[in-house]
Amino acid sequence: MAVKRSEHPLRIAFFLVPQFSMMSFAAAIEPLRSANRAAGWPLFEWLLASAQGEPVVASNGIPVAVSGPLHQIDKLDMVIVCAGLEIPAYPGIYPQLRRLSRHGVLVGAISSGPFILAEAGLLNDRRCTVHWEYTEALRAKYPQLQVTQELYVIDRDVFTCSGGTAALDMMLHFVTQVAGAELARGVAEQFIHAQIRKQEDHQRLELHARHGIDHPKLVQAIGLMEAALDEPLDVAEIASRTRISTRQIERLFREHLGSSPKAFYLGLRAAKARTLLQHTLSPLRTIALECGFESTSHFSHAYKRVYGIPPTHERRSRASGAVRQPATAAATPCIKVHGALQG
């Protein structure tokens, strides 16, 4: 569904979830302010909402004041769920989002916010995306979903965004629909954003940039590993597929990455397991199999070798709230953000 041009400002509610990403939030809201300024009249207006109308603390510890709870805000054209570090659960908000969607409101989410849309049933039979750190967790919890690695996905009346600067690209897409490509390019230039990326662009750096390597055979080998975390390939098979010898594979990994292929591969699988341990309730055996370990004991020993603690301790520390929480809203003055009707 396209955003329609209108004589009236497009009215957007940002639903803030505790620990939401300030970077993603700013990248989504600032293009609206800049578009109003460039146009010389209000193309957009916005309000902030939370579950109970209370200030919400971002992942950087800064609390942000809101206009009120989402159910008290009316006449909306779009609502955007802004989340971040934690995978959120808000049973009370699901019916509200479904109701808004039924009444023609575009419903979207940023960063880990797609978990809320999935739980509300709004992503069924639709393509979607989420921040790459949460991709495996989203697929594990909702195996029926069509999860992509795209920057953002707009599928009919629901949209999802991976977060970070991808929110800027997505909002520039909406600015283009409302005010045209020329104004959107002007907004991008205001933010020194030299190229407006398309939704199908990938989130992560290319393999060679991510690992700081430029050897094509080594890049190919790592790509094979990342594509087969659940059913690991042996080194001989990787060598065969890259058309070099096993000895050459071993040498390349040690020269460029300071590791053996086997140890590097184990690190990739353990990293996937860590995400699933931290962000899902999947049984250890299920996680072990999804990460290519033949048994929970094998998984436990390998995980401890990489991270220094067994997977049971990882999950226990996460469940007990061992991660330090930021300051409460009462401890710091709130930032107030209002719709900029004058640009």
Distance separating alpha carbons of residues 129 and 197, to the nearest angstrom: 15
Pairing status of strand 335-336 against strand 63-65:
parallel
Contacts (Cβ under 8 Å, ≥6 apart) of 231? 292
Residue 5's pLDDT is 61
User: What confidence score (pLDDT) does residue 7 get?
Assistant: 73
Burial of 306 (0-12, 13-18, 19+ CB in 10 A): middle
- Rounded CA-CA distance 206/183 in Å is 30
pTM: 0.74
Distance between the two ends of the chain, CA-based, in angstroms? 26
CA neighbor of 160 nearest in space, from 70, 99, 59, 80: 80
pLDDT given for residue 133 in this prediction: 87
Return the pLDDT at 201: 75
Q: Which two tokens stand for residue 207?
A: 């393999």
Phi then psi for residue 274, to 5 deg, are: -65, -40
Note the pLDDT of residue 199.
76
Distance, CA of 47 to CA of 224 (rounded, Å): 46
The tokens of 75 are what?
């006449």
> For residue 128, what are the β-bridge partners?
147
The answer regarding whether domain 10-203 maps to CATH 3.40.50.880 reads yes
Give the domain ranges of the chain: 10-203, 207-319
User: Tens of pLDDT along 12-36?
Assistant: 999 999 999 999 999 999 999 999 9
**What's the pLDDT tens digit per position in 100-117?**
999 999 999 999 999 999
The fold of the 207-319 domain, in CATH, is Arc Repressor Mutant, subunit A (1.10.10)
pLDDT along the chain (343 residues), means of 10: 72 96 96 95 96 94 95 94 82 93 96 95 95 89 92 95 94 95 94 85 65 83 90 93 92 91 93 86 88 92 91 75 37 42 35
